[in-house]
Amino acid sequence: MDAESQRVLEFLTSIEEAAEDVLSSKQQIVDLDSKRNRNREALSALKHEMSDSEKVKVCFGNMFIKFPKSKTSEMIQRDQEQLDKEINDLRKGLKAKVNRLNEMQGKPELRGYNLSPLSSDEIRAINSLLKR
């Protein structure tokens, strides 16, 4: 193989690796979001639990353990916070990976892709200005 062919092959390989990295990050986000939804369902079920007992059965791996409702709710809530943090970190990293992939392919940077939503304080400030 001559030098030109080798260089083209290396270029295509690097683009393929960058694309695979983007796809794996997207799949991780989907998987974590699915787990977050299951946790949300569990929290809802705990709130609507009709039994008088203060303990609920929780599945850990392949066994069920009776745990106090309050502890179970706290554990799930901490897990939710951790999942939210991981998903946000992956989404931030995904933006950089997509931009890198576009740059490698010679495409322009996506416009509006780096936007972030307004915070609740910013929304309140805007609403107060608009009401005047």
pLDDT one digit per residue (tens) for the chain, 132 residues: 688 889 989 999 999 999 999 999 999 999 999 999 999 998 998 888 766 678 888 888 899 988 888 888 999 999 999 999 999 999 989 988 988 888 888 887 777 666 778 889 999 999 998 886
pLDDT of residue 113: 65
Helix (H, G, I), strand (E, B) or coil at 128: helix
Q: How far is CA 65 from CA 26, 55, 68, 69, in A?
A: 34, 10, 10, 12
SS3 110: coil
- pLDDT at site 16: 93
Picking from 121, 101, 97, 125, the residue whose alpha carbon sits closest to that of residue 25 is: 97
Helix or strand or coil: residue 103? Answer: helix
Quickly count helices (H) and strands (E) in the chain.
3, 2
Question: What pTM was estimated for this model as a whole?
Answer: 0.73
Report which residue type is found at 39: N
Nearest to 113 by CA among 83, 129, 92: 92
Q: What is the pLDDT of residue 103?
A: 87
